[in-house]
């Protein structure tokens, strides 16, 4: 059972988190860039230690309620 869990982590979870880390760096290339990175899955919160430190230091968790994301983005872009 333990071997299966370790295999699943290295086969699925680790590559997925690696891709998420790579993708999170794409919208922001220099200090003057403005972008938003949205992880919309509780697994990112569960595995927060696997997210790049520069992203982890800026993470804000918002409630899962209607229009929360839309409201945040409206404020962000204006």
- Written as six digits, the tokens of 6 are 């370790």
Instruction: List, as one string, the DSSP characters of 12-46.
Output: IIHHHHHHHHHHHTSS-SSTT--------SHHHHH
pTM score: 0.66
Q: What is the pLDDT along the chain (78 residues), one digit of tens a residue?
A: 566 687 877 788 888 889 999 998 888 888 888 888 888 888 888 888 889 998 889 888 888 788 888 888 888 777
**Coil vs helix vs strand at 48:** helix
* pLDDT reported for residue 2: 64
């Amino acid at each position: 059972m333990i071997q299966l869990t370790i295999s699943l982590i290295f086969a699925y979870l680790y590559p997925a988190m690696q891709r998420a880390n790579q993708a999170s760096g794409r919208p922001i290339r220099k200090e003057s860039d403005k972008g938003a990175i949205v992880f919309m899955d509780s697994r990112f919160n569960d595995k927060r230690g696997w997210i790049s430190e520069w992203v982890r230091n800026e993470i804000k968790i918002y409630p899962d309620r209607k229009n929360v994301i839309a409201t945040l983005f409206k404020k962000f872009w204006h």
